[in-house]
Amino acid sequence: PTAVAPVSQYACQRRTTTENNNKIITDAFEVLAESYEFNEIEGPCLAFRRAASVLKSLPWAVCSLEATLDLPCLGEHTKAVIDEILQCGRAFEVEKILSDERYQTLKLFTSVFGVGPKTAEKWYRRGLRSFSDVLADHSVQLNRMQQTGFLHYGDISRAVSKAEARALRNIIDEAVHAIAPDAVLALTGGFRRGKEFGHDVDFIVTTTELGKEESLLPRIIRRLTKQGILLYCDYQASTFDMSKLPSYRFEAMDHFAKCFLILRLEGSQVEEGLHIAEGDSRGWRAVRVDLVSPPMDRYAFALLGWSGSRQFERDLRRFARVERHMLLDNHALYDKTKKEFLAATTEKDIFAHLGLEYIEPWQRNA
């Protein structure tokens, strides 16, 4: 018999491509995780996310419960769901959630840009069930982000294609290099991991000269405004404090300067054409773009932190903390034993500090 290396409980010790051999099961787990999330039950939510992530990393399809015996992160509940799906092709518990009015409504509301679970819950408790309910209710105060979310709902809820991401890269690339000849631009997020489609396009932008990056985002924003392609902009200046220890909380946003944008993308700029609804003859679409601007000495941490997947990021931090007594976030890596920060200029440096084999971006689809 050939010895097969055991599957690690940490996503950062697994290689997970975009090819998922267990999609039926992982989709079911993700519905369960999201339902727990809507009900603010953190433990089982994370357990189902971890289990889904383990199954995504397998180069084979699970076709019996016995086959899962040596896999980590699968408890009683997850195994019962797997068993039911293997036997009947679907799980009763998942079907029940999918047909649940509260789940459906929260799912619908949170699909709007700027609407999180808290707001969705508030609207649901007010008896609102549809977008027209929300828009007709005079007691609902939409902020600017949510107003834009409703305005461009069709475009923003439609996936962004790789070709559209490439076209946006050209637009941003032209802008940053016109502003700063020493600008550094990197595609990050799902498209860096090789995904075919995404909900937005994420970029890291900075300058090789330290400190010069501070004026970069405001200048990019001004340029995009002049070009008439900026439909929405939420700019957050840097609150980065380099003396602070890395954060324990993953969900908290990092402190780098960033902007959440909606850009107008012309069909003529996209080689394969726009990814829009059939019969839509506008010739342009709105796309969500995130720009993050760390100082150059934090570039590797920011790139690693924004490349995702979320589960990969969660496990990198958990691995650092539990296995290495180190703290990792999007800004820095701190060794608690030596009481010192560990510098890095590349992602490989960070993996090396953590004593981890390097995982390529396209293997981080955990």
Shortest reach from residue 313's CB to ligand DGT, in Å: 5
| Site stretch for Mg ion (CB under 5 A), options 87-95, 121-129, 183-191, 353-361 | 183-191
Task: Answer yes or no: 182 catalytic.
Answer: no
Question: Minimum distance from CB of 160 to ligand DGT (Å)?
Answer: 8
Q: Would you say 35 or 148 has its CB closer to Mg ion? A: 148
- Picking from 365, 296, 300, the residue whose alpha carbon sits closest to that of residue 332 is 300
Cβ closer to ligand DGT: 202 or 213? 202
Sheet arrangement for strand 230-236: 183-188, 201-207, 284-293, 257-266, 230-236
The verdict on whether omega for the bond into residue 157 sits within 30 degrees of 0, i.e. cis, is no
* Site mask for Mg ion (CB under 5 A), range 201-220, x = bound: -x------------------
| Partner that binds at residue 361, options ligand DGT, Mg ion, none, CB closer than 5 to 8 Å by kind | none
Min dist CB 302 to ligand DGT, Å, is 10
Decide which of Mg ion, ligand DGT, none touches 113; Cβ closer than 5 to 8 Å per partner kind.
none
Could you say which of 189, 246, 295, 305 contacts Mg ion (CB under 5 A)? 189
CB of 114 to Mg ion, least distance (A): 16
The Cα angle at residue 77 between residues 61 and 107, in degrees rounded to 5: 85
Q: Which does 306 bind (CB under 5 to 8 A by kind): Mg ion, ligand DGT, none?
A: ligand DGT
Q: Which residues contact 122 (CB under 8 A, 6 or more apart)?
A: none
Question: If DSSP states are collapsed to H, E and C, what string results for 276-337?
Answer: CCCCCCCCEEEEEEEEEECCHHHHHHHHHHHHCCHHHHHHHHHHHHHHHCEEECCCCEEECC
From the candidates 234, 290, 335, 349, give the one annotated as an active-site residue.
290
Does residue 41 come out as left (phi exceeding 0), alpha (psi in the -120 to 50 range) or beta?
beta
Active site residue 202: yes
Residue placing its CB nearer to Mg ion in the complex, 191 or 284: 191
Q: Give the footprint of ligand DGT on this chain (CB under 6 A).
A: 189-190, 195, 198-200, 202, 250-251, 253-254, 306, 308-310, 313
Please write down the long-range contacts of 357-364, taking CB distance under 8 Å and 24 or more positions apart. 357/13, 359/12, 359/15, 359/312, 360/15, 361/192, 361/193, 361/194, 361/307, 362/17, 362/18, 362/193, 362/194, 363/15, 363/16, 363/17, 364/11, 364/16, 364/193, 364/307, 364/308, 364/309, 364/312
Q: Quick one: which H or E segment has residue 37?
A: helix 23-38
> Is 200 near Mg ion (CB under 5 A)?
yes
Is 200 noted as a catalytic residue in this protein? Answer: yes
309 binds, among ligand DGT, Mg ion, none (CB under 5 to 8 A by kind): ligand DGT
Binding test (CB under 5 A) with Mg ion, winner from 16, 50, 190, 331: 190
Residue nearest to ligand DGT (CB): 308
Q: What's the min distance (Å) between Cβ of 247 and ligand DGT?
A: 8
DSSP code at position 257: E
Q: What are phi and psi of 236, to 5 degrees?
A: -120, 115
User: Which is catalytic among the residues 155, 202, 254, 329?
Assistant: 202
Kindly tell me which of 45 and 128 has the beta carbon lying closer to ligand DGT.
Answer: 45
Nearer to ligand DGT, 74 or 361 (CB): 361
Strand partners, 292: 204, 258
Nearest approach, Cβ of 325 to Mg ion (angstroms)? 31
Residue with tokens 């500090």: 353
Q: Which two tokens stand for residue 363?
A: 């293997």
Q: How far is the CB of 253 from Mg ion (least distance, A)?
A: 14
Q: Give residues in contact with Mg ion (CB under 5 A).
A: 189-190, 198, 200, 202
Q: Which residues are the active-site residues?
A: 200, 202, 290
